Structure 1
């Protein structure tokens, strides 16, 4: 693939997408933007629209409203299209996940336009756009985060069913008194349960427990009627 490339853009910020399209077209690239439906919940539903254009390069945003753009990386890469992620996130672990899924490069949206154009040019010339060291560093960040999350989930799995329910209510912003009233138990009972939760999660406060649960992506059990 040399010279002009077919480039597909998936981006939910219209002004940024239009700026990219204009800059790329001025360089002779054929650009197609994939429209995003208002009710988009799964990025994979965009795959047919991407493949319709048979792009050489897909410029992909990660945060597409309620949808996670990274879900597109693997199937698009498998189809032979190079994926370049343009994101507002500076989470290196998240970048590493994208690289592991097959993204050729991850860049912040604040990157100079010339750097984005140069990346597409290098891909078109069949040249690398990241060093092996850069890729390994990003993947290492992802692996470290996964290990941390696994440790957090291990702590959360120590909770009894009742403690998990109480933690879920704390995550919803309820006070000990409200939890006690809703469960028809004494405040002392709930405080004992909270104390056990803090000990098992190895944190010193209710805020710490709630933060740990959020960081682990933990979902509280559904309350039984």
Structure 2
């Protein structure tokens, strides 16, 4: 059987030391390789078009063109490329915009190498990677702070069970955890999740979480 090629990672950060650190982490893994680097958002968009990486590590704050806008342009031009935003707690005012731009997850800049690799491999599998701490701050700041829920007619399309599953997704539970909580098979949960994404007309679980909180279906505890 032919050996699978390493996943190609594009590193985009204006800080050279950060790029060096991420390169070292990526290149230490046999299943990952660095496809290229970019020091500003405009070069990141060009590099994504040139190298066609499997995943982009994108700093949210980039010169020339900010990371959120760069991520949105990459997503529009190359829907198959996964995008993992690199953020810090004091910069998460940009994170909710990145969700809307189609980011697949967030990586905290000072995360340990093992956590970085989990996040990279997670988005490569198609799993949204959103740290609970980032989720909580995003929700508190952008969805619930001084804002009223916005009714969303798409929620009416969900069955009672699907709404229940969506609520657990919004609280950060995995499919396995939801299955255990609701006494369902994990395959059944996956079916519910697929139907929820289709009915809400969102691309992934992160999009579903945004709908759940903006509509008032879920509130932070």
Query: 2:36 aligns to what?
Result: 33
Query: 1:102 aligns to what?
Result: 102
Segments of structure 1 that go 5 or more residues without pairing to the other structure are 148-225
Give the drift of 1:107.
Answer: 2.5
Counterpart-to-counterpart distance in 2, 1:146 and 1:35 = 37
Query: 1:215 aligns to what?
Result: none
Query: 1:51 aligns to what?
Result: 49
Counterpart-to-counterpart distance in 2, 1:45 and 1:13 = 14
Counterpart-to-counterpart distance in 2, 1:140 and 1:48 = 35
Counterpart-to-counterpart distance in 1, 2:146 and 2:36 = 33
Give the drift of 1:97.
Answer: 1.4
Query: 1:119 aligns to what?
Result: 119
Counterpart-to-counterpart distance in 2, 1:77 and 1:9 = 16
8 Å CA contact 1:99–1:135 kept in 2: the answer is: no
Structure 2 matches for 1:205-216, cutoff 5 A?
Answer: none
Counterpart-to-counterpart distance in 2, 1:92 and 1:112 = 19
- SS of match in other structure, 2:21: helix
Segments of structure 2 that go 5 or more residues without pairing to the other structure are 148-221
**TM-score, normalised to structure 1's length?**
0.53
Task: Pick which of 3-12 and 62-71 moved more.
Answer: 62-71
Structure whose CA Rg is larger: 1
**TM-score, normalised to structure 2's length?**
0.53
Structure 2 matches for 1:1-225, cutoff 5 A?
Answer: 4-28=6-30, 29-36=32-39, 43-44=41-42, 46-78=44-76, 79=78, 80-130=80-130, 138=138, 141-143=141-143
Counterpart-to-counterpart distance in 1, 2:75 and 2:136 = 19
- Paired positions, count: 142
Counterpart-to-counterpart distance in 1, 2:35 and 2:120 = 15
